[in-house]
Amino acid sequence: MSGLASVFAREARLAWSGGGGPAGPAAFFLAAITLAPLAIGPAPEVLAAAGPGLMGFAALLSVLQSAERLYGDDFADGTLDLYALTPMGLPLLCLAKTLGQGLATLWPLPAIALAGGLMYGVPVQASLMLAAALLAAIPALVLLAGFAGALAAGVRRSGLLIALIAAPLMVPVLIFAAGAGRSGFEGDERALANLGLTAALSLGAIALTPFGIAAAVRSRLG
């Protein structure tokens, strides 16, 4: 267990010191939700209705945008070889590594989504629901991005491959997380159900994706 914690802490520290930490995804997310109203138009009721869905979508894109570094750097500098030979086993290590790096870089997204929701004219309660749904979605999103990132590690133009692999896998997460925000906005009782399903997807991803990531890493090392 202490091994897991040390991998988690190291990956979080490296993500923070190496690549500006949360700045990249946060800037991308902010840019997306600031630019979208310019394209959609200024009608307040349209913006408020589109807000929750748009935030969910923009959050997904900012996770994808940072996914290339999840396994690409470790592949290039030989760290993956060493990780494959650790005593704790590769699946557990991949889980700790992906979550450590993901949480260190993506933690601002729910807060920005909350502010963004208010900015779009979404009521406070629905904005809170949206932020909670994004928080619940982050483990699933980052683990799926990690799976795609591990499959594409060391491949040229891996960003393209990652988008093609991860985007379809992220569809259910997007539907439920954005759905929680939308239902919150429309004031119907499905918001909590959507939030619960988002959290369930994250738990499922925590249980299953480490094995997929580990298999992908092994295939890349061969």
Partner 1 sequence: MTTALADLPAMPALLPAALDVAGLSLSRGEVRLIADLDLALAPGDALLLTGPNGTGKTTLLRALAGFVRPDRGAVTHEGEPADTIGWLGHADGLKPNETLRQALRFWAGLHGTPRHAILPLLRLLAIDALIDRPAGHLSRGQQRRAALARVALTGRPLWLLDEPAGPLDGAGRERLADLVGWHRGRGGIVIAATHQVLDWPGAKTLALRAAA
Cα→Cα distances 11→8, 20, 53, 64, 166, Å: 5, 13, 31, 18, 21
Q: Restricting to residues 83-122, which ones interact with partner 1 according to CB under 8 A?
A: 84-89
* Separation of alpha carbons 147 and 98, rounded Å: 9
| Nearest in space to 45 (alpha carbons), one of 188, 184, 186 | 186
Site string for partner 1, 179-218 (x = CB under 8 A): ---------------------------------------x
The region of 57-65, 75-83, 167-175, 188-196 touching partner 1 under the rule CB under 8 A is 75-83
Q: Which of 35, 77, 160, 187 binds partner 1 (CB under 8 A)?
A: 77
Nearer to partner 1, 71 or 176 (CB): 71
**18 is a contact residue toward partner 1 (CB under 8 A):** yes
Least distance from partner 1 to the Cβ atom of residue 62, Å: 23
* Separation of alpha carbons 211 and 215, rounded Å: 6
CA torsion, ordered 14, 152, 66, 173, to nearest 10 deg: -120
| CA 132, chain centre distance (Å) | 14
- Residues lying near partner 1 in the complex (CB under 8 A) are found at 2-3, 6-7, 10, 13-14, 17-18, 76-79, 81-82, 84-89, 218, 221-222
